[in-house]
Amino acid sequence: MRNTAKQLAAPDKDRITLPVFTYLIEHPKGLILVDTGWCREISPEGVYDPKAVAAVLPPHLAALFHPSVPAGMAVDEQLAVMGIHPEDLDYVLLTHLDPDHVAGLKHVNSARHIILPEDEYFWSCRAVYKTRQPQKLWIQYPMERPYYRGSVIGPNHWVIDLFGDESILLVNVPGHTDGQAAILIQNGGSFVLLAADAAYSPRNWEEMITPGFGFARGWQVKSLRWISDMAAEPGCAAVLCSHDPAVEPGVIAI
Ligand SMILES: [Zn+2]
């Protein structure tokens, strides 16, 4: 079914609640946070607060998103429990600029490096993304914006190799946004793939159901096929989607 404004702003009875995941990678070359979730200010008391949402998001996005951030669940609050201060983070990798992935950047902007693919940045103020990626959530923070490069990996053979050793790759998975990155973490023959919003659950690639949120269906299909191929690799420890309710918070070691 096509997205329409009517469908996106569903009546409350038709709404479903999905998690918003961030990931912490403990890598020999540093601590790496992937995405930042919602900010505390959008849900000061830990529940859905329409006035607080309206203060963070423009009206059309406030109608779409009804976020709640329970006590202790903002990204900096979860890091604090692990004894990690935002300035301890070596990298924050942003998979794309939709607000549920970057609103929490205000809590971790003292990280040493904030990395965003230039291709995501370029399109964020153009086309449809201008209305869905409010700049006030991220434009003021100093980001490093590398371009994707040609590679044998990925649906359109574009990657950013964070350390130059293929241990952390930002792999372009277009379709949800043009510049979106999946994060491929490799060690020896094993890997974990963080699929960002290229898929919402394994059903997307197992049954080739393209997610409703997307603006280039052909690219969504190509990205899903690549994810499906990766999930079938013997070295695959996990493929995790950013909003999959079946994913439990935990630790994966590779
Ligand atoms: Zn998302």
- Which pLDDT band, with edges at 50, 70 and 90, does 83 fall under? very high
Interacting residues of 62 by C-beta distance below 8 A, sequence separation 6+: 50, 53, 54, 56
Say if residue 216's pLDDT is above 90: no
Q: How far is the CA of 99 from the centre of ligand 1 (A)?
A: 8
The predicted pLDDT at position 14 comes to: 81
What is the SS3 assignment for 142-211? CCECCCCEECCCCCCCEEEECCCCCCEEEEECCCCCCCCEEEEEEECCEEEEEEECCCCCHHHHHCCCCC
Question: pLDDT > 70: what percent of the chain?
Answer: 96
The string of pLDDT tens digits covering residues 93-145 is 999 999 999 999 999 999 999 999 999 999 988 877 888 899 999 999 999 99
Q: How far is the CA of 196 from the centre of ligand 1 (A)?
A: 7
β-sheet bridge partners, residue 225: none
Q: How far is the CA of 102 from the centre of ligand 1 (A)?
A: 9
- Rounded to two decimals, the pTM is 0.94
Q: How far is the CA of 95 from the centre of ligand 1 (A)?
A: 9
The string of pLDDT tens digits covering residues 167-176 is 999 999 999 9
Strand pairing class (149-150; 113-115): unpaired
- Which pLDDT band, with edges at 50, 70 and 90, does 9 fall under? low
